């Protein structure tokens, strides 16, 4: 368990630092244009930020997914526990490690961003928000619905691609691309959370109303993940409950594949 929790801390740290860091440091970067005397826009924009979040998950899922299952997200941990693909007794430790990793990333990003003269962290650390704190001015209800829907879809994908019968070795790519797609849809709406640890990690360093709106970015992702966890087997007809999120093959699955009755007595 200590190694699993350390892997979740590390993976969540990288997701928050790389994802939010791309938004804070690189999204709207302007460089002097020596030819015209003005400024040249070299920022990565929404597309670059979306890719950064997706790539952070892909890289860390390949790096430590075999250790912890690569949740990096309290909503995912709760969603797969609801789906009976993860032990409830392990949920608190995972969530604490994920939030700690997110907060450490937020602190690191805050410390680095302040190194630029004139930078004001207040309102500029990629926090999530609704109303006047939404990038596009979207309402509380719009943000709530978006976060529930997108987190549910995210967990549906995770539950599907970590099935032991899915193409082997491609789960991190599918999960990372899904997170990229989610960000392409929802950055203008809420700055995209679908992850309470990501929201918490930067909210308190960002200030400007973000801590007061943090409740929504816990409630909505967890609700969406729980919906997905409770309904995946009903919608898809694929009942993999009581199987680990890593997609490990249970002994009874091996027996069935070999044409052996899994309920037959076995020699010790």
Residue by residue, pLDDT tens for the chain (268 residues) are 899 999 999 999 999 999 999 999 988 776 666 556 666 667 788 999 999 999 999 999 999 999 999 999 999 999 999 999 899 999 999 999 999 999 999 999 999 999 888 888 888 899 999 999 999 999 999 999 999 999 999 999 999 998 877 888 899 999 999 999 999 999 999 999 999 999 999 999 999 899 999 999 999 999 999 999 999 988 877 776 666 665 444 445 545 445 555 455 444 4
For residue 117, how many other CB atoms are within 10 A of its CB? 5
- Please list, in sequence order, all residues whose beta carbon lies within 8 angstroms of the beta carbon of residue 32, skipping any fewer than 6 positions away: 39, 40
Query: Do the domain assignments include residue 217?
Result: yes
Q: How many domains does the chain have?
A: 1
Range of the domain at 50: 2-248
Q: Is residue 96 in some structural domain?
A: yes
Whether the model pTM is above 0.75: yes
Residue 116 inside a domain? The answer is: yes
The distance from CA 185 to its chain's CA centroid, rounded to whole angstroms, is 15
CA–CA separation, 91 and 78 (whole Å): 7
Contact assessment for residue 126 and residue 205, using Cβ atoms and an 8 Å cutoff: no
pLDDT of residue 268: 43
Inside any domain, residue 261: no
Residue of 260, 184, 83, 187 lying closest to 198 (CA atoms): 187
The CATH number for 169's domain is: 1.20.1080.10
- The answer to whether residue 264 sits within a structural domain is no
Q: 31: which strand partners? A: 40
Query: Is the residue at 144 inside a domain?
Result: yes
Is 239 a domain residue? yes
Please indicate, yes or no, if residue 35 is contained in any of the structural domains: yes
């Amino acid at each position: 368990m200590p190694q699993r929790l350390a892997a979740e801390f590390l993976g969540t740290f990288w997701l928050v630092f790389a994802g939010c860091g791309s938004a804070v440091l690189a999204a709207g970067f302007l460089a002097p244009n020596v030819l015209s005397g003005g400024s040249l826009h070299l920022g990565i924009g929404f597309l670059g930020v979306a890719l950064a979040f997706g790539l952070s998950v892909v890289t860390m899922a390949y790096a430590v997914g075999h250790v912890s299952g690569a949740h990096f997200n309290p909503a995912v941990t709760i969603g797969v526990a609801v789906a009976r693909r993860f032990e409830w007794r392990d949920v608190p430790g995972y969530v604490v490690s994920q939030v700690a990793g997110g907060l450490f990333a937020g602190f690191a990003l805050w410390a680095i961003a302040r190194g630029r003269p004139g930078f004001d962290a207040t309102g500029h650390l990629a926090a999530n928000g609704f109303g006047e704190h939404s990038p596009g001015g979207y309402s509380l209800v719009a943000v709530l619905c978006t976060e529930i829907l997108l987190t549910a879809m995210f967990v549906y994908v995770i539950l599907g691609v970590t099935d032991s019968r899915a193409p082997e070795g491609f789960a991190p790519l599918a999960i990372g691309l899904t997170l990229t797609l989610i960000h392409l849809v929802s950055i203008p709406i809420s700055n995209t959370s679908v992850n309470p640890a990501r929201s918490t990690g930067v909210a308190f360093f960002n200030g400007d109303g973000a801590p007061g709106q943090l409740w929504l970015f816990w409630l909505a992702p967890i609700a969406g993940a729980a919906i997905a966890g409770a309904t995946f087997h009903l919608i898809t007809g694929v009942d993999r409950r009581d199987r680990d999120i890593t997609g490990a093959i249970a002994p009874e699955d091996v027996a069935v594949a070999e044409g052996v009755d899994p309920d037959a007595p076995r020699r010790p």
